[in-house]
A and B are shown apart, each in its own frame.
Chain A
Amino acid sequence: MLVELLILFALVAAGIVFLVPDEYAGQSAAVLSLVPVGVSLWMYSIFDGTGNALLEGSQPAFETITSWVTLGPYAISWHVGLDGVSMPLVVLTTLLTTLAIVSAWTPIDERESQFYGLVLFMQAALIGVFAALDFLLWFVFWEAVLVPMYFLIGVWGGPRRKYAAIKFFVYTNVASLVLFVGFFTLVFGLGDSISTLGLPAIAQALNAGQLGSIGGVSPSTVKLAAFAALFFGFAVKVPVVPFHTWLPDAHVEAPTPVSVLLAGVLLKMGTYALLRFNFTMLADVARANAELIAIFAVVSVIYGALLALAQKDLKRIVAYSSISSMGYVILGLIAFTPHGVGGATFQMVSHGLISGLMFMAVGVMYNETHTRMIGDMSGMADRMPVTAGVFVAAAFGYMGLPLMSGFAAEVLVFMGAFRSTTISAAPLFTGIAMFGIVIVAGYLLRAMQKTLFGPFRLETDYDIGRAPFQDVAPLFVLLALVIALGVAPDLFYTMIQDAVFEVTALGLGGGA
Chain B
Amino acid sequence: MVSAFEFVPAIAVLPLVSFVVALAFGKWMPKKGALAGIFATVGSLLISIWTALTVAGFLGSETAYRETIWRFATGTGTFDLHLGVFVDPLSALMLLIVSLISVLVFIFSLGYMNDEDETGLPRYYASLSLFSFSMLAFVFADNILMAFMFFELVGLCSFLLIGFWFREDAPPSAAKKAFLVTRFGDFFFLIGVVGIFATFGTGLFATEAGFPHMAEQAVAGEMPEPVGGFLGAVGMGAQQWFTVLGLLVLGGVVGKSAQFPLHTWLPDAMEGPTPVSALIHAATMVAAGVYLIARMYGFYLLTPTTLAIIALIGGFTALFAATMGVVKQELKQVLAYSTISQYGYMMLALGSGGYVAAVFHLTTHAVFKALLFLGAGSVIIAMHHNENMWDMGGLKEKMPVTYWTFLSGSLALAGIVPFAGFWSKDEVLYEALIHGLGSPVLLVAWAMGLLAVFLTGFYTFRMVFLTFHGEPRSDTAEDPESVRWNVKLPLGVLGVLAATIGFINMVPIKKLTGLKIDLLHKWLVGSEALNAEFLTGLEHYEPILKNVAGIESSFIAGGEIPTLLLSAALSLGLALAGVGLAYRLYAVEEPVEHTEKLGGLRTLLMHNYYQDEYQVWLAEDVTLPLARLADTFDQGIVDGVVNGVSSVSLFSGDRVRHVQTGIVSNYAALLTVGLALLLVAFGILGGWF
Residues of A with Cβ closer than 8 Å to B? 71-74, 143, 150, 154, 162-163, 165-166, 169-171, 173-174, 176-177, 180-181, 184, 187-188, 241-242, 244-246, 303, 306-307, 309-311, 337-339, 379, 381-382, 396, 399, 401-403, 407-408, 411-412, 414-415, 418-419, 421, 427, 430-431, 434-435, 437-439, 441-442, 445-446, 448-449, 452-456, 487-490, 493-494, 497-498, 501, 504
Specify which chain A residues have a CB less than 8 angstroms from the CB of B624 in the assembled complex.
309-310
Q: Are A427 and B195 in contact (CB under 8 A)?
A: yes
Q: How far is the CA of A138 from the CA of B193 in the complex (A)?
A: 40
In the complex, the answer to whether B638 meets A490 with C-beta atoms within 8 Å is no
- Smallest beta-carbon distance A333→chain B, Å: 16
CB-based contact B671/A170 at 8 Å: yes
- Bound form: Cα–Cα A504–B75 in Å: 15
B683 interface hit (Cβ, 8 Å): yes
Report Cα–Cα, A414/B148, bound state, in Å: 14
A303 in contact with B630 given A414-B194, A454-B168, A454-B172 (CB within 8 Å): yes
Q: Please, which residues of chain A bring their CB within 8 A of the CB of B689? A: 72
Let me know if A493 and B73 touch, CB within 8 A.
yes
Contacts of A438 in B (CB 8 A): 180, 183-184, 187
Whether, in the assembled complex, B169 has its beta carbon less than 8 Å from a beta carbon of chain A, the answer is: yes
Measured in the bound complex, the distance between the Cα atoms of B76 and A409 in whole Å is 17
B152 at the interface (CB under 8 A from A): yes
Partner pick for B152 among A337, A402, A455, CB 8 A cutoff: A402
Which residues from 117 to 160 on chain B have a C-beta closer than 8 Å to any C-beta of chain A?
145, 148-150, 152-153, 156
10 of the cross-chain contacts (CB-CB < 8 Å) are A169-B668, A188-B686, A245-B634, A306-B631, A338-B77, A415-B197, A419-B230, A427-B195, A431-B191, A438-B183
Inter-subunit contact B667/A445 (CB<8 Å): no
B513 at the interface (CB under 8 A from A): no
B688 x A245 contact (CB < 8 A) = no
Q: Which 10 A-B pairs have the closest CB atoms?
A: A72-B688, A402-B149, A453-B172, A338-B77, A310-B631, A309-B627, A310-B627, A245-B639, A453-B166, A419-B198
Given A245-B634, A419-B230, A72–B686 Cβ distance below 8 Å? yes
Contacts between the two chains (Cβ within 8 Å), count: 199
In the complex, whether B26 has a CB less than 8 A from a CB of chain A is no
Do residues A456 and B167 form an inter-chain contact, with CB atoms below 8 A?
yes
Measured between beta carbons, the chain B residues less than 8 angstroms from A490 are 71-75
Name the segment of B33-41, B281-289, B371-379, B674-682 touching the other chain: B674-682
**Cα distance, A171 to B686, chains bound together (Å):** 28
On whether A449 and B662 interact (CB within 8 A), knowing A71-B688, A177-B678, A498-B75, the answer reads: no
Query: What are the residues of chain A within 8 A of B619 when measuring CB–CB?
Result: 442
Residues from chain B with Cβ under 8 Å of A163 in the complex:
660
Annotate B159-186 by CB proximity to A: 1 below 8 A, 0 otherwise.
Answer: 0000100111101110110011001101
With both beta carbons as reference points, the residue of chain A lying nearest to B72 in the complex is identified as A489
Contact between chains at B190 and A437 (CB < 8 Å): yes
Q: Which of B150, B183, B184, B662 has the most CB of A within 10 A?
A: B183
Question: Bound complex: CA of A504 vs CA of B78, how far in Å?
Answer: 13
Q: What is the CB-to-nearest-CB distance from A465 to chain B, in angstroms, rounded to a whole number?
A: 18
| B600 close to A (CB within 8 Å) | no
Q: Closest CB of chain B to A61's CB: distance in Å?
A: 17
A176 closest partner in B (C-beta):
B675
Q: Does B240 contact A (CB under 8 A)?
A: no
**A403 and B671 form a contact (CB under 8 A):** no
User: Taking CB as reference atom, which chain A residue is nearest B668?
Assistant: A169
Asked if A445 contacts B179 (CB within 8 A), the reply is yes
CA distance A339 to B145 in the complex (A): 15
Indicate the member of B163, B175, B194, B195 with the most A CB atoms within 10 Å.
B194
A498 touches B76 (CB 8 A): yes
Q: Are A497 and B77 in contact (CB under 8 A)?
A: yes
Q: Which residues of B contact A446 (CB under 8 A)?
A: 176
Q: Are A162 and B72 in contact (CB under 8 A)?
A: no
Residues of A within 8 A of B674 (CB): 177
Contact with A along B210-224 (1 / 0, CB 8 A): 000000000000000
State which size class the interface on B falls in: 35 or more
Q: How far is the CB of A484 from chain B (nearest CB, A)?
A: 13
Q: Give the docked Cα–Cα distance between A177 and B678 (Å).
A: 9
Q: Give chain B residues whose Cβ lies under 8 Å from the Cβ of A174.
A: 671
State whether the Cβ of B557 lies closer than 8 Å to any Cβ in chain A.
Answer: no
B180 lies within 8 A of A489 (CB): no
A34 to B: closest C-beta gap in Å: 26
Instruction: Flag whether B2 is at the interface (Cβ < 8 A).
Output: no
With the chains together, A169 CA to B675 CA distance in Å?
Answer: 14
B30 to chain A, nearest CB (A): 22
- Give Cα A95 to B222, complex, Å: 52
Chain B 610-645 against A: per-residue CB contact (8 Å), 1 yes, 0 no?
A: 000000000100011011101100100011001000
Whether, in the assembled complex, B233 has its beta carbon less than 8 Å from a beta carbon of chain A, the answer is yes
Q: Does B583 contact A (CB under 8 A)?
A: no
Chain A residues, CB < 8 A from B172: 448-449, 452-454
Majority SS at the chain B contact face: helix
B648 at the binding interface (Cβ < 8 Å)? no
Cα distance A181–B71 in the bound complex, in angstroms:
45
Q: A170-B667, A501-B76 are in contact. Are A310 and B628 (CB under 8 A)?
A: yes
Q: Name A449's contact: one of B173, B183, B628, B688 (CB within 8 Å).
A: B173
Complex Cα distance A337/B167, Å?
47
List chain B residues, Cβ under 8 A from A154. Answer: 664
Are B176 and A449 closer than 8 Å at their CB atoms?
A: yes
Question: Apart from A245-B639, A411-B194, A493-B72, what are 20 other A-B pairs with CB-CB below 8 Å?
Answer: A72-B683, A169-B668, A169-B671, A170-B667, A170-B671, A173-B671, A241-B638, A245-B634, A306-B623, A307-B630, A307-B634, A339-B77, A339-B78, A339-B79, A401-B153, A407-B152, A445-B176, A490-B73, A494-B73, A498-B76
In the complex, the answer to whether B194 meets A306 with C-beta atoms within 8 Å is: no
Task: Give the chain A neighbours of B78 by CB distance below 8 A.
Answer: 338-339, 497
Q: How far is the CB of A499 from chain B (nearest CB, A)?
A: 11
Pair A396/B180 contact, Cβ less than 8 Å: no
Q: Is B646 an interface residue (CB 8 A)?
A: yes
When distances are taken between beta carbons in the complex, the residues of chain A under 8 Å from B153 are 401-403
Complex contact B642–A442 (CB within 8 A): no
- B558 near A: Cβ within 8 Å? no
Given A310-B628, A381-B166, A408-B72, CB of A170 within 8 Å of CB of B79 = no
User: Which of chain A's residues has its CB closest to B233's CB?
Assistant: A421
Tell me the bound Cα distance from A293 to B642 in angstroms: 21
Beyond A402-B150, A435-B187, A452-B166, whether A162 also contacts B664 by CB under 8 A is yes
Query: Which of B77, B167, B198, B688 contacts A418, CB < 8 Å?
Result: B198
CB-based nearest A residue for B169? A454
Contact between B660 and A162, CB atoms less than 8 A apart: yes
**A170 CA to B656 CA, complexed, in Å:** 12
Q: Given the interface contacts A170-B671, A402-B150, A446-B176, does A306 sit within 8 Å of B626 by beta carbon?
A: yes
Check B187–A396 contact: CB distance below 8 A: no
**Is the CB of B1 closer than 8 A to any CB of chain A?**
no
- Which of B183, B634, B682 contacts A437, CB < 8 Å? B183
Is A170 within 8 A of B646, CB to CB? yes
Contact of A402 with B77 at beta-carbon distance under 8 Å, contacts A166-B659, A180-B678, A453-B163 already known: no
The answer to the question of B515 belonging to the interface, with a C-beta cut-off of 8 Å to chain A, is no
Report B-chain residues with C-beta under 8 Å of the C-beta of A494: 73-75
> What separation, in Å, do the CA atoms of A379 and B165 have in the docked complex?
11
- Chain A residues with Cβ below 8 Å from B687 are 72-73
Write the chain A residue with the least CB distance to B645.
Answer: A174
Cβ of B190 and Cβ of A414 under 8 Å apart?
Answer: yes
- For residue B592, give the distance in angstroms from its CB to the closest CB of chain A: 37
Q: Which residue of B lies closest to A431 (CB)?
A: B191
Q: How far is the CA of A494 from the CA of B626 in the complex (A)?
A: 41
Cβ B659 vs Cβ A412 within 8 A = no
The reply to whether B76 and A427 form a contact with Cβ atoms under 8 Å apart is no
Q: Which of B145, B176, B628, B634 contacts A411 (CB 8 A)?
A: B145
Contact B167 A454, beta carbon cutoff 8 Å? yes
Q: Which residues of A contact B198 (CB under 8 A)?
A: 415, 418-419, 427
Q: What residues of chain B lie closer than 8 Å to A173, measured between beta carbons?
A: 671, 675
Closest CB of chain B to A169's CB: distance in Å?
7
Question: In the bound complex, do residue A402 and residue B148 qualify as a contact, i.e. CB atoms below 8 Å apart?
Answer: yes
